[in-house]
Amino acid sequence: MDCQLPTPIRTEWLATRAIERVTHIAPGFSGASVYRCQSSDGTQWALKHWPIENSPSRVAEVHQVQQAARDGGIESVPKIEASMTVAGRIWELSTWMTGDPATGNAAPATVQAGAELIRQFHQAVSVLGSMEQPAPAIQNRIQRLNQLRHELPAALRDAGVAITAMPVPVGESIGRACRELAQHWNSVAAEMDAQLTAFARTPVPTQFVLRDVHREHILFSNLNANANPVPALSPSPPGLVLASQLAAGTQVPVPTGLIDFDAVRVDTPIADLARWVGSFLASRNRTEERELWQAALADWGRKDVLQQRIVWGDSATQVTDHSPNWLGMGLNPQDALPLAQTLHFATTWISLANWVIWCVSQKRVFLAGPDQIAGRIDDWTTLAVRDRMFPQT
């Protein structure tokens, strides 16, 4: 074994599955620890150690959403095989998802394939309930924007001294972020406030969504495929290959894995679209950006009539959706785009400000290494500069 693990994990999970190799995966930003486990016959699993702040009820909720997705035919969602609590921390064992994440300059067909998988995920987990309300994503960003008006000036003032104590890559990235925020935050914050307020009271469909589905969280096979003719086969499970592209006889990257469900909550499905497409925009011009939004929305206009018993708290209502698209309740793809772009714009600048506050004022410690942290900060800075220089029209 490459890692030291609690005895119950070894005896109840690893030994019974003839697991011979356990490799710690480089940590990300969720606070979870993930291990890749491989048995003697080559079968692989993902062993996850949840962050301590997650309660058993919260983890059970996430597992319920994952199971609903799999019950709905989304086999690219990991299957939870077991979970247990050891020394107050929750562990889970799930199937290992193969594939590679798309690069930031991925082709529109790849972005569209990921968006279609997200749409299929939403459709599958909608059986857990949905309701019409103002988007929590909008409300949360309005609230955070108001908080930043008080928190950010102090962080920018203290950054010079704080940077000297940071690892060099992180300090340099924080310095670039601070310069951008110091010069442009006030005008950008006013624009964010106006855009967010415009949607603050707009009712939209909400249900369980992923909330943090960026380009590293969908894995693909066939990423290097060219537009080579292939037989027009029916996709299985549905949505993993786009029907429009199959009909055209085009070979496209195929999503094989959807990973990291830590952020799952009830919100508008458009929040997932905004996060997914937004993670591909750093190096795009406005023409290329429009192509990505159009590609991502292309399959979100299908007619899927939903008849569900919706239960929230103590109330239950029967909702029948006869709208011309699956988003329902009056929101169509043309309305979805401005909302998605507003969420992307606000997420970019709020995330940049958050990183400055986390590193300068709160001095947070992350499991990820300095280069990974610096890379994430630089990504947000690049997006912020781009959005400022090329505003939406």
Q: What is the pLDDT of residue 227?
A: 36
State how far the Cα of 381 lies from the Cα of 386, in Å rounded to an integer. Answer: 9
Q: What is the pLDDT of residue 117?
A: 96
State how far the Cα of 129 lies from the Cα of 68, in Å rounded to an integer. Answer: 11
When computed from its CA atoms, the radius of gyration of the chain, rounded to whole angstroms, is: 22
Indicate the DSSP class of residue 221: E
pLDDT tens-digit series, residues 172-223? 999 999 999 999 999 999 999 999 999 999 999 999 999 999 999 999 998 7
Question: Which range among 21-30, 126-135, 233-242, 263-272 shows the weakest confidence by mean pLDDT?
Answer: 233-242
**Sheet containing 130-134: which strands, arranged edge to edge?**
130-134, 203-209, 265-267
Which amino acid makes up residue 329?
Answer: M
Name which of 356, 366, 376 is nearest 154 in CA terms.
356
Q: What is the pLDDT of residue 357?
A: 98
If pLDDT is split at 50, 70 and 90, which confidence band does 309 have?
very low
pTM of the predicted model, to two decimals?
Answer: 0.86
Q: Is the pLDDT of residue 124 over 50?
A: yes
Indicate the DSSP class of residue 127: G
If pLDDT is split at 50, 70 and 90, which confidence band does 314 have?
very low
Token digits of residue 256: 């094989």
If pLDDT is split at 50, 70 and 90, which confidence band does 367 have?
confident
pLDDT tens-digit series, residues 72-102? 999 999 999 999 999 999 999 999 999 999 9
Question: Which range among 29-38, 159-168, 175-184 shows the weakest confidence by mean pLDDT?
Answer: 29-38
Q: Is the pLDDT of residue 159 over 60?
A: yes
If pLDDT is split at 50, 70 and 90, which confidence band does 158 have?
very high
What is the SS3 assignment for 14-53? HHHHCEEEEEECCCCCCCCEEEEEEECCCCEEEEEECCCC
Question: Which residues partner with 308 through β-bridges?
Answer: 319
Q: Is the pLDDT of residue 37 over 60?
A: yes
If pLDDT is split at 50, 70 and 90, which confidence band does 299 have?
confident
Indicate the DSSP class of residue 25: P
Q: 200 by DSSP, 3-state: which?
A: coil
Token digits of residue 382: 């690049």
Q: What is the pLDDT of residue 82?
A: 97
Q: Work out the average pLDDT over 131-150.
A: 97
What is the SS3 assignment for 142-171? HHHHHHHHHHHHHHHHHHHHHHCCCCHHHH
If pLDDT is split at 50, 70 and 90, which confidence band does 331 have?
low
pLDDT tens-digit series, residues 229-265? 333 323 333 333 444 444 444 567 899 999 999 999 9
Name which of 165, 277, 271 is nearest 208 in CA terms.
271
Q: Is the pLDDT of residue 38 over 70?
A: yes
Q: Work out the average pLDDT over 322-349.
A: 72
More confident residue, 325 or 265: 265
Q: Is the pLDDT of residue 335 over 90?
A: no
Which domains, ranges and CATH numbers included, belong to the chain?
7-95 (3.30.200.20), 130-213+264-389 (no CATH)
Which amino acid makes up residue 123?
Answer: Q
pLDDT tens-digit series, residues 45-69? 999 999 999 999 999 999 999 999 9
Q: Work out the average pLDDT over 123-148.
A: 97
Name which of 121, 146, 356, 91 is nearest 255 in CA terms.
121
Q: Work out the average pLDDT over 365-393.
A: 89
Q: Are 375 and 26 in contact (CB under 8 A)?
A: no
Average pLDDT along the chain: 86
Which amino acid makes up residue 14?
Answer: L
